[in-house]
Each structure stands twice: as structure tokens, then as C-alpha cells.
Amino acid sequence: MIIGCGALGCAAADLLARAGVGRLTLVDRDTVEWTNLQRQTLFDERDAAAGAPKAEAAARRLRAVNSSIVIEPIADDLAPDNAEAIVVPEPRPGVLLDCTDNFETRYLLNDAAVKHGIPLVYGGAVATGGVLMTVRPGAGPCLRCVFPDPPAPGTMPTCDSAGVLAPATAIVGALQAAEAMKILAGREEVLDPALRSFDLWSNSRQRLDLAHARRADCPCCGAGRYEFLQGRQRPEATVLCGRGSVQISPGRARALDLDALAERLRPQGPGRRAGSSLRQRLTHEPPDAGPIELTVFSDGRAIVSGTTDPARARGVYHRYIGA
Ligand SMILES: [Zn+2]
């Protein structure tokens, strides 16, 4: 099962479908945009013009590549209340590929994978670099053993604030597919028990050995507390009546560096600082009811104007501020 049909998901799904993986489930909440075509290799201009759901467009393309396997698209937003139903169906997936672009879903997936004992291959790419880690529940560290909490929103670059070099995404997707093939072939002994990262611009590579990184005090795999599945950390989306906007409240207190955020959002055009808020017109975002504008407060709360669609607003929040 591949969660996230962006650049990583496209690369991994293509390789696994061609390898003849018998059953592929593709999960994604987004639709294809023109700017995706730079790196999301399962989509073409027709998909972007139609605004096709990514999971469905990817399934259509992969069925043309290999008609002998079962491909199931799920166009849905993974959230605490539906995550286990989506990620742990019958028959159970042999491996989960985390190809998402936000920390909220990543930690949700880590909870679900550990709770149900399903291997998880985490991958990420932003700017010119990438990162990869395979979680084997019960046999090694989980994501929270290594990164106990998600980073505060606005502190990490995202693909929308920093851009992404397409070859970096292709490499991570290919590495994820290789890890999945090892797991599906029953060759877990050749998995790499490490956090691997690289940067294509500085030509650097790191490998952090995780053989002894499992923590007894990990809230997830140590204590069995699945805080993300329980929804305690989920940002709330509230439609603000009559304003054509949606308010996003983070699930926990956060302190945003608005100056740093303004700097990262500068490619969208000039932002306006007013006290503890930053207002930014998102010129790269396709308009909905009107142009999309983001007002961010230093406590992490944000108002997304120009839409009344909570899923759209949550997506904007994830992409520009981070989860
Ligand atoms: Zn853990």
C-alpha cells in the first residue's frame, strides 16, 4: 500500500507495478495540478487539465502498464478516524510505503503500522535532498524512537516553500520500492537498519545506524500509546461562516517564527506582517472561490481565505506551514 501519490509515490508505484507486485493500493487526497508534472511521473497534461484525483489517475496509468495485477485507488484524506480502516484492510498489506509530504500523516502511519505490526518504509524529499528509514515493528525502532515529536509547523522547509529537485524524489521513491521488494520477498535480513539521507547538490550522503535506536520509553512502540491515531494532535479545521475561509487550529501549542516563515514564502510574493500575524497571498495556488490567502498567527493557528473546503484548507496549511 502506497500512501501519497506525489513524486515518491509515483516513482515507487511505477517500479512495483512493473515488478508484478500482485496487489497495489494507492491512497491520496489531492488532485493533479500543472506544477506536479515536473516530478510526478504517472501524470500527464490531461490529468492536470481535468484536475483528476491523483490516486485514480495513477491507477489508470498503472493498469495500462500491467493489467495482470490488482490496483485499488483510494481518494481520501488519512485522518485519525479513518486511518486504521484504510491502512489495515483485509487482506492486510504486506508493507506500507509512506510517500506523504506532511508530518501529521507520517506519525499517524507510524502509529497504525506499529499497532498492527505492518512494516513501514518512510521516505521524504525536499529541496535537493532525501531521507529514508524502514520501520520493522517489534524488530527495530519506529519513527518516534528516532524523532519523538513532529517538528513545530513552519520550522521545516516544504516542497512548496523550498521547492524540490525531481531527481531527489525519484531516488527516494526507488529506494522505497527496493525496501518493499525485500520485505515482500521475505528477505528482511537484507533491509538497511539505518536512517539514510543524501543531498544531490552538495553530493553528500549520511547513514545513521539505528540498530540500537529502539527506545523503551517510546510512547508508540514502547508504551503502546497511539497518540496520533487517538487524534490528540490533529489540527482542527473550522469553516468560518460568511467569510469564505477556514480556520486551522493546531492540535497542540506551537510557537511559529513568522519572520522565518515569511522568508520561506517570499517566492509567493510579498507577505504582510502585523503584530503576531503574517498575511500572505499564495500566488502559486490555483484559486478556489477566490484567490487563496493565508493568515498565520504565531501560535500556529491559521486562516485560509478564498475557500470553504476544510480538506483544501488543511492541504494548504500542510504544504506551506507544515504539520
Ligand atoms: Zn518507537
Give me the pLDDT at residue 253, please.
Answer: 58
Backbone φ/ψ region at 322: left (φ over 0), alpha (ψ -120 to 50), beta: left
Q: Is the pLDDT of residue 233 over 80?
A: no
Ligand 1 midpoint to CA 77 (Å): 24
135 phi, psi to nearest 5 deg? -100, 120
Question: What is the tens place of the pLDDT at every residue in 105-127?
Answer: 899 999 999 999 999 999 999 99
Give me the pLDDT at residue 221, please.
Answer: 96
Give me the pLDDT at residue 170, please.
Answer: 98
Q: Is the pLDDT of residue 9 over 90?
A: yes
Question: What is the tens place of the pLDDT at every residue in 257-272?
Answer: 888 899 989 888 888 8
Ligand 1 midpoint to CA 114 (Å): 8
Ligand 1 midpoint to CA 213 (Å): 9
159 is catalytic: yes
Average pLDDT value over all residues in the chain:
90
Question: What is the tens place of the pLDDT at every residue in 191-210?
Answer: 999 999 999 999 999 999 99
Which one has a higher pLDDT value, 66 or 252? 66
Q: Where are the alpha helices (DSSP H) in the chain?
A: 7-19, 45-50, 54-65, 83-87, 103-116, 143-146, 159-162, 166-184, 258-264, 310-320
Ligand 1 midpoint to CA 180 (Å): 20
Of these residues, 142, 159, 218, 221, which one is catalytic? 159
Rounded Cα distance, 243 and 256, in Å = 25
Ligand 1 midpoint to CA 207 (Å): 19
Question: What is the tens place of the pLDDT at every residue in 59-85?
Answer: 999 999 999 999 999 988 788 888 999
Average pLDDT over residues 271-280: 83
Domains of the chain: 2-209 (3.40.50.720), 236-320 (3.30.310)
Give me the pLDDT at residue 270, please.
Answer: 83
Q: Is the pLDDT of residue 174 over 80?
A: yes
CA distances in angstroms from 168 to 8, 197, 198, 307, listed in the order given? 9, 10, 9, 32
Q: Which of the listed ranges 135-139, 151-155, 279-283 does the model predict with the highest average pLDDT?
A: 135-139
Band of pLDDT at residue 31, cut at 50, 70 and 90: confident
Give me the pLDDT at residue 242, please.
Answer: 65
Ligand 1 midpoint to CA 293 (Å): 38
Ligand 1 midpoint to CA 214 (Å): 6
Band of pLDDT at residue 57, cut at 50, 70 and 90: very high
Which grid cell sits at 187? Answer: 528477505
